[in-house]
Structure 1
Amino acid sequence: MFYHVLKYVLLGPLLRLVFRPRIEGLEHIPSSGAAIVAGNHLSFADHFLMPAILKRRITFLAKAEYFTGPGVKGRLTAAFFRSIGQIPVDRSGKEAGQAAIHEGLGVLRKDELLGIYPEGTRSHDGRLYKGKVGVAVMALRAQAPVIPCAMIGTFEAQPPGRKLPRIHPVTIRFGKPLDFSRYAGMEGEKAVLRAITDEIMYAILALSEQEYVDRYAAVVKAEEAAAKAESGRRFPRMPMS
């Protein structure tokens, strides 16, 4: 119930008023039945803008950190994400990834829309990174189409680290559904899963026109953080006199 109150009464009208998002390809979202909406992930605002413009309810796989934060703020954030039906995803290992697939399949088996960011994390620099194969596994097991989606302008509106978004033009662009029925029963083949995931990421790239990086975003983030820490150790900041 809170999902619909938030969408139609509270947050949805405010987001549409402030950002006035331009919507393209909305006709590609099926009016019924299971489907996966796979998009790029540039901003915290992505979680709210897409559901605000879709007629159907969409459930996202959200990172577990949104549900485990400390203090009053953490509890409020967790309660908010639970109340709008989002599913926590532990991204710490292979078994956790299998749990996320299980939860996602549960949504699809109820003939609902599942939202997923194949990159696995927000882009820290506005580029599009290599997708993880969980989206391919779910598409094959649920025999569900995948609708590619590009969020454009949300990085500029609210880049990582910015608490409140700034007003900036936003476009939400949906592509034609991708049908992978030709690979039915092959979800155990790594090469097939990689091919499907790459096809999905290419479709997102064509819609978003981002620069593409053929590496996992989480790995690049970790390398850059390590390099920054090493630089800090080698060249510590001098105290101000």
Structure 2
Amino acid sequence: MSTDRPASAGQAITADQIKRWGPTWSRRVGWCLAHGVWNTRVVGAERMPRTGRLLVAANHTGIIDGPLLHGVIPRESHIIIKEEMFSGIIGFLMRNAGQIPVDRRNGRAALQTALTLLNEDRLVGVFPEGTRGSGDVTQTKAGIAWLAVRSGAPVLPVAILGTRPAGKKPGHIPGFRGRLTVEFGTPFQAVDPGVGVGRAAVTEAMGTIQEQLSTHVYGASERHGIPLPRSTEI
């Protein structure tokens, strides 16, 4: 049965609690942040399918990566974000923006919710590294691989650069009109459908996503001359 009671930290999210209309307004706020507050260069947006189910996989170095990604994606998106952000006034905004809270100790409820949205031919954004780090995507969590296998959605890699310059701490917020770059890659299938949907398929998909996203991020970093933070700065 459907319920309008919003999920909060410590409560499992369900698909009927996600505001489908939320991204309609919230992506405009993200756009204003990306292009009004900061000076964001967006590359390759034309590579993104404008309809159909899609997983967007982005590297994660800075605290503003979530709203920035939401604002530059050229269609409505639901991004998986740690549930700690869903409290107070920020939490109120996040819930009404249609975003997906995840308990990083047990993300099953968030994954099931994301799968429902993908099966509605929506776009779900994921930071496969699971937390802010050096952004080099040396490893990924299994969640996005499970979603790719279960939904059959293609994965589109995204490189987010400049949100935490070398030498800055993970909580760094770029200054007004700070120059940022977001480069979209080319969608790919993470696993052959013939492999099935079991553990072997998820393992294969996880390796493919890690390799494709890491290659894209390193390539974008070199193309734009924007270095990633060093692991010692995490």
> TM-score band (shorter)?
0.7 to 0.9
Is 1:107 the counterpart of 2:117? The answer is yes
| Map of 1:57 onto structure 2 | 76
Separation (CA, whole Å) in 2 of partners of 1:104 and 1:6: 18
Instruction: Note if contact 1:140-1:185 (Cα within 8 Å) is conserved in structure 2.
Output: no
Q: Would the alpha carbon gap of residues 183 and 199 (structure 1) be closer, same or farther in structure 2, given more than 3 Å must change?
A: same
Residue identity opposite 1:66 in structure 2: M
Taking structure 2 as the reference length, the TM-score comes to 0.76
Instruction: Note if contact 1:42-1:155 (Cα within 8 Å) is conserved in structure 2.
Output: yes
How far 1:97 moved relative to its partner? 2.5
Residue identity opposite 1:121 in structure 2: T
Residue identity opposite 1:175 in structure 2: G
Taking structure 1 as the reference length, the TM-score comes to 0.74
Instruction: Note if contact 1:126-1:155 (Cα within 8 Å) is conserved in structure 2.
Output: no
How far 1:44 moved relative to its partner? 1.7
How far 1:139 moved relative to its partner? 0.9
Q: Which has the higher helix share?
A: 1
Is 1:135 the counterpart of 2:144? The answer is yes
From 142, 156, 163, the equivalent of 1:147 is 156
Is 1:89 the counterpart of 2:102? The answer is yes
Separation (CA, whole Å) in 2 of partners of 1:159 and 1:128: 18
Is 1:15 the counterpart of 2:34? The answer is yes
| Map of 2:5 onto structure 1 | none
Residue identity opposite 1:27 in structure 2: E
| Map of 1:171 onto structure 2 | 181
Larger radius of gyration: 1
Separation (CA, whole Å) in 2 of partners of 1:11 and 1:138: 25
How far 1:64 moved relative to its partner? 1.1
Where does the alignment leave 5 or more consecutive residues of structure 2 unmatched?
1-20, 222-230
Q: Would the alpha carbon gap of residues 11 and 109 (structure 1) be closer, same or farther in structure 2, given more than 3 Å must change?
A: closer
Give the secondary-structure state (helix, strand or coil) at the position aligned to 2:130.
Answer: coil
Give the secondary-structure state (helix, strand or coil) at the position aligned to 1:61.
Answer: strand
Give the secondary-structure state (helix, strand or coil) at the position aligned to 2:210.
Answer: helix
Q: Would the alpha carbon gap of residues 116 and 129 (structure 1) be closer, same or farther in structure 2, given more than 3 Å must change?
A: same
Separation (CA, whole Å) in 1 of partners of 2:169 and 2:62: 6
- Aligned-residue Cα RMSD (Å) equals 2.7
Separation (CA, whole Å) in 2 of partners of 1:107 and 1:3: 13
1:104-140 CA-partner distances (Å, limit 9, x unpaired): 10110111100001111111x4543410111111111
From 24, 33, 37, the equivalent of 2:56 is 37
Q: Would the alpha carbon gap of residues 128 and 143 (structure 1) be closer, same or farther in structure 2, given more than 3 Å must change?
A: closer
Instruction: Note if contact 1:42-1:159 (Cα within 8 Å) is conserved in structure 2.
Output: no
Give the secondary-structure state (helix, strand or coil) at the position aligned to 1:170.
Answer: strand
Correspondence 1:185-196 to 2 at 5 A: 186-190=196-200, 192-196=201-205
1:147-198 CA-partner distances (Å, limit 9, x unpaired): 0111011122974223x432532111111111145234622124x3222212
1:186-238 CA-partner distances (Å, limit 9, x unpaired): 22124x32222122122222222189xxxxxxxx99xx99xxxxxxxxxxxxx
Aligned sequence identity (%): 31
Aligned length: 202
Q: Would the alpha carbon gap of residues 79 and 209 (structure 1) be closer, same or farther in structure 2, given more than 3 Å must change?
A: same
